[in-house]
Amino acid sequence: MFSAQNTTLFLSPRDVARLLQQQSMATTLLGMATYIEEDFLRWKSFDKSPRVANHSPDGVIELMPIADASTYTFKYVNGHPKNTARGLPTVMAFGVLADVATGVPLLISELTLTTALRTAATSAVAARALARPDSRVMALIGNGAQSEFQALAFHHLLGIEEIRIYDLDPAASVKLMRNLHNNPDAVGLRLDLCDSIALAVRGADIVTTITADKTNATIITPEMLEPGMHINGVGGDCPGKTEIHPDVLRAAKVFVEYEPQTRIEGDLQHLPAEFAVTELWQVLNAQKTGRDNASQVTLFDSVGFAMEDFSALRYVFDQAQALRLGSTIDLIPQLADPKNLYQLVRPDPI
């Protein structure tokens, strides 16, 4: 643990980018996936709750708290699909990791880049448990800010060799292809640009949807399903924002992170409370089965859960200390007498 008394480690977006550059994308995704899976395996040790959300016509601002016996974290995150027209990211985030015993904030970190990494790593953790082991082709529907991370996570952690890409905005697909073309992180990965969703998903072993519009969309419809397909539904993550036709969920075996939150925010919001789902931790702990057979359609209704940010903050905190990244800030008062807060503002004695 960070040992400097009453100081907080600060990680900027540039610091997290340096971490990636020093370790490589593959190493970082694998490390983060390992931390996430470790925490899923001790699911019952966490004090959990759905995130707190404040919605507006333009988007949502959310707080995502969670704790175990020793560490507390929270993430502040927004989702504003119109932001790109203003020169701002759709999603922006920061997070705090604190010591439960004292309440001291040990880390404050950017979580915009880190959220993209943890979301991709979580997708890969779920797919390793749910997709067919011989999966080699993925369709990637939605080629925005998080698409490269999803592509690279599935390439490095699941062995995906071909990704068929589609976006309503052709410029987004061009951006994705440019970022991964001749990229050492993407060696051995083939990208195929498709002119429709139907063409992209045809013959795909895995389908990842990660769109940004705050609307009840039906990007994946029942006629697109093929035996053995795994659907990784990432973009439907708040009330009124979905991507998957309800009949697709009815035709699939559905898995979620934290059911109370997913029923409010995920594609699951369209279905009645009695519709059965399985929480991912139960599969990872071998308490319940994942895929029952090679021809079954599986669906991970991913909305993003606070425990994944807990894992991500633990990971970047540990790696930043090992690599000596970041800077320290005086976020809480440095007091000679902790009972005398007024000493910070008291005039110097005459």
Residues 159, 135: Cα–Cα separation, whole Å: 8
User: How do beta strands 327-329 and 8-11 pair?
Assistant: antiparallel
Q: Which amino acid is at 169?
A: D
Q: How far is CA 237 from CA 3, 17, 162, 244, 270, in A?
A: 37, 26, 26, 12, 13
| Alpha-helix residue ranges (DSSP H) falling in 85-169 | 112-130, 147-158
Residue 130 CA, chain-centre distance (Å), reads 17
Which two tokens mark 46? Answer: 């966490």
Three-state DSSP at 292 gives: coil
Residues 6+ apart with CB under 8 A from 122: 33, 36, 257, 302, 304, 308
Considering the candidates 15, 39, 167, 237, report the single residue annotated as catalytic: 237
User: How do beta strands 93-99 and 105-110 pair?
Assistant: antiparallel
Is residue 330 part of the annotated active site? The answer reads: no
Residues 66, 49: Cα–Cα separation, whole Å: 7
Catalytic residue list: 237
